[in-house]
Amino acid sequence: MTFTFEVTILGGSGGPIENDCQSFLIRPYGSDVVDSICVDAGTGLGSLYNLVAQIGTSDEAKVNDYYNQNITTRKVFNDVNVAYTNGFSSSLKKVLSEKYQNLNHWETTILLYNGIRDYYITHPHLDHIAGLIINSPLAYEISFGTSKNVYGLTSTKEALTDHIFNDTIWPSLNKLKYPKINLNALKQCMTHDIANFPWTTTPFKVNHGCGACNGEPNHSTIYCIRHDRTSEAIVVCGDLENKASIDTLDSYLQTFTNWLTNNILAENFKGILIECSSQTVPDGTPLFGHLSPPHLISLLKLLLKKYNDIGQTISELNVIVTHVKYTCGNEDPRLTVLSELRNLAKFNNLHNLNFSYASQGTTYYL
């Protein structure tokens, strides 16, 4: 099997624990430089530092066992067919050991942070932007700082401008005379070139519930990241819901799945990171703009059918489940959601789907 992308989980949950919120560090497979991009930035420097400090130690293999269920290995979160490693990828560790071996942990963390030039934000909820915001002054360090290009759909850019970088919640760093935080709007369904790699990304607007008090609709983004030369691609999702009935897709998801099946060959579809925030709940229980296992299985089943309808078959697809919310109780919701998804997939004869959970500190090879 060949790989195209390395995806390191800096944070994989949707809260309420603040140090594990969604943030994915993505690099070309086998890259010999420290450059990367991030999709979402709910966490940042803290996660980078922990991964740096754990290199070569037994802590690298440890996982967060908040529910005292004796989880001692990442195997419980990962399908046997998915390729992954503990901590950073082997290629990134090699770069750090051969080129930057004289740096201490903090200097190495800054090096990796500076290597993230582009952020692709799915939506402006705090669990997807907190790391970006709190880390942002480091971009202005005289000796070390590098500019950050922050991308998102227009609604995301406007929210960051009006409600975050507004000199009230946070300094308006994007409006300085020589800004190093640059906010950029992407157009729905319009392909965008990623600067540092031979990649493109295409953003798709999706539904994500509504305001708690005003009832106004919230939206999020799905990004399809494609390699220009090989046409291989991964899909990275923000929070989302399907506003249609469970056996159909709403208009936004129809647009996304139609584009995907028309532009990405089944054999080039390397994997999808997609949310499943809660375990199965009774019909009618509010999901607050998220998916539960039955909804995610239905969505994936409809996507596979679309490929089948055009004469293509996905022989195997790695599904990396994200954004499970930690709940009160004595059972780990990550394991519950994963078990429910695997059982539902088996019941629906979806044997080509490999389900894993995006536990913090895992790097996937896709």
Per-residue model confidence as pLDDT tens digits over 62-73: 888 888 888 878
Instruction: Supply the pLDDT for residue 259.
Output: 98
Averaged pLDDT score across all residues of the chain: 94
Contacts for 246-249: CB closer than 8 Å, 24+ residues apart: 246/294, 246/295, 246/298, 247/298, 247/302, 248/302, 249/299, 249/302
Q: Does the structure show a pLDDT above 90 at 270?
A: yes
Q: How far apart are CA 130 and CA 43, in angstroms?
A: 6
Mean pLDDT to the nearest integer, 296-304: 97
Average pLDDT over residues 23-28: 99
Q: What is the pTM of this model?
A: 0.96
Q: Is pLDDT above 90 for 58?
A: no
pLDDT for position 144: 66
Segment 307-352, tens digit of pLDDT? 999 999 999 999 999 999 999 988 899 999 999 999 999 999 999 9
Lowest mean pLDDT, pick from 38-47, 241-250, 307-316:
241-250
pLDDT digits (tens, 9 = 90+) for 179-235: 889 999 999 999 999 999 999 999 999 998 888 898 888 899 999 999 999 999 999
Share of the chain above pLDDT 70, in %: 99
Length of the chain: 366
Who wins on pLDDT, 246 or 23? 23
- What number is the average pLDDT over the span 260-269? 98
- Report the pLDDT averaged over residues 248-267: 97
Quick: pLDDT tens for 128-185: 999 999 999 998 886 766 889 999 999 999 999 999 999 999 999 888 877 889 999 9
* Predicted pLDDT of residue 202: 99
> What percent of the chain shows pLDDT beyond 90?
81
At residue 311, the pLDDT reads 97
Domains and CATH numbers, the chain: 5-365 (3.60.15.10)
